[in-house]
A = this chain, B = another copy of it.
Amino acid sequence: MSEQTNDFTQWYLQTVQQAELMSYSPVRGSIIFRPDGFELWEHIQEEFNKFLRSEGIRNAYFPMLIPQHFFMKEADHIEGFAPELPWVTEVGNEKLEEPLALRPTSETMIGAAFSDWINSYRDLPYEINQWANVFRWEKKTLPFLRTSEFLWQEGHTAHADETDARQRTMRVLDEYARLCEEFLAIPVYKGQKTPSERFAGAVDTYSIEAMMKDGKAVQAGTSHYMGTKFAEAFDITYLNKENKHTLVHTTSWGVSTRLLGSLIMTHGDEQGLVLPPTVAATQVVLMPVGPWKKNPAILEKLEEIFAELKARNIRVRLDDSDNSPGYKFNEWELKGACVRVECGPRDLENGHAMVKVRDLAEKEKVDFEGLVAYIEEQLAEMTPRLLASAKARNKENEHFDINTLDELKAHIETCKAENKPTGFVLIGWDGTEETESKIKEETGFTTRNIPFEVPMEKATDLVSGKPAKHTLWIARAY
């Protein structure tokens, strides 16, 4: 396997395939989510569905194909998505009268439905979510992080006024941050996107940005306030208390299977996947070691532990294959099993097992008596520990003292020479697109977001040297 520090992308590509998270498919840029990969997504779905239920936001399902004239209704929207849209033009051998787009997102389809369903202020807020496959024909693709077809949830809500709509936008962004940090152990940077990075058709776009181990950014989730733009395009109005037709304010927001890529690139190491127990398909793997076949009591003991763990809803596997212990260690480390329990003849004799937690350096000797409790404790501690460790690493890769384009270039050169991540750089910005394009052109860095909590105010624009209107994060990004 490629070493992480030498070629992070190669390491990533090898790891996701060897750990059997995905396979390439015959369709350019579309991947197969193998069971161990798809299960990560299923756990994320389960967790986010809890939030939706607690907020009274219900799941629905809308058609995947969107008629061409629908897309045309919101000008910014079609302009933003047109180059990436796959079109169905024929069925059987017959040409369709109107081409149908494979949805890249469903504002238009859901906007039209809202127009039918929403009549009175009593119907508001109207809040819907859908789990779906979407299509964006990207030029450069990367498993999970950028694929032609991907899976996501898209929430769409309509509100009586701006305050209520903006509240929903922020509440969801907060939940995305919580989901990433507490559930996936991925630290995120919350903030607002610059106008040039807004969702096509949004008034304001907010994002959570995550820093990968190589210092590059992943936009891990976005939440948009649309104002009345889609309400105007799709005639979504309600009768207010004074019986007057009024435009609704809409929001939309989504996280996708990009999260899987972020998860792997945040925690993985030279041995392979490191997964928080919240989502790991295998939380515990039990394996007999030494000449265990001659001593059936070893397997019996492990089967007993297996049953106990199973009864506590722990995702446990027993590896009693013929492979050597070394092979098994490697395989389960590669696959990101959180806890490995080994038991050989001498262990059994002494009433203990050897326990190795994936992200800790040393094996521990643990008495059978306290084994299950020990495992539960380790599983509970692992997610917050992974988060803390990722946060500490991020801190090292945040840069606050780069004030000019030349300093940024020098920073990049130094990082290259020392084989270090370029990380997130906090800069001053005069608010112009010129600054953004110049930075992108000359360094490949892009604006990530204007953080809600600015670690320090920057006085001048990185490029123009003019007074800064905002302080924001820039980074290279996936």
Contact = CB atoms under 8 A, between A and B. Distances in A.
A309 to B, nearest CB: 16
B59 A42 contact: yes
Interface in A93-140: 93, 99-100, 102, 109, 112-113, 116-117, 128, 132-133, 137
Given A25-B109, A109-B25, A61 B38 contact: yes
Given A26-B67, A109-B25, A137-B92, A60 B86 contact: no
A117 to B, nearest CB: 8
A366 interface: no
Contact of A92 (B27, B65, B84, B132): B84
B32 A61 contact: yes
A62 interface: yes
B25 A64 contact: no
Interface centre among A67, A91, A117 (most CB of B within 10 A): A91
A89 interface: yes
A35 interface: yes
Contacts of A60: 32-35, 37-38
A31 B116 CA distance: 14
A273 B408 CA distance: 65
Contacts of A62: 25, 32-33
Contact of A25 (B39, B63, B86): B63
Interface in A46-64: 58-64
Given A27-B67, A34-B60, A133-B64, A92 B85 contact: yes
Nearest to A116: B23
A82 interface: yes
A428 B126 CA distance: 56
Given A23-B116, A58-B39, A90 B86 contact: yes
Contacts of A35: 58-60, 128
Interface centre among A39, A88, A92, A117 (most CB of B within 10 A): A88
Contact of A149 (B32, B38, B63, B93): B63
A323 B60 CA distance: 26
A329 interface: no
Given A27-B67, A63-B27, A91 B149 contact: no
A102 B87 contact: no
A55 to B, nearest CB: 13
Contacts of A109: 25-26
B86 A87 contact: no
A289 B86 CA distance: 55
A153 interface: no
Given A42-B59, A61-B33, A61-B38, A89 B92 contact: no
A30 interface: yes
A82 B92 contact: yes
Contact of A113 (B23, B61, B65, B67): B23
A83 interface: yes
A137 B91 contact: yes
A113 B20 CA distance: 12
A151 interface: yes
A33 B38 CA distance: 24
Interface of A: 23, 25-27, 30-35, 37-39, 41-42, 58-67, 70, 82-93, 99-100, 102, 109, 112-113, 116-117, 128, 132-133, 137, 149, 151
27 contacts: A23-B117, A25-B62, A25-B63, A27-B65, A27-B100, A30-B63, A30-B64, A30-B65, A32-B62, A32-B63, A33-B61, A35-B60, A38-B60, A39-B59, A41-B61, A61-B151, A64-B133, A64-B149, A65-B86, A65-B149, A83-B92, A85-B91, A87-B91, A88-B89, A89-B89, A92-B137, A133-B133
Given A23-B113, A38-B59, A65-B149, 5 more contacts: A23-B116, A25-B113, A33-B61, A85-B91, A132-B133
Nearest 4 pairs of A and B residues by beta carbon: A35-B58, A30-B63, A33-B61, A83-B92
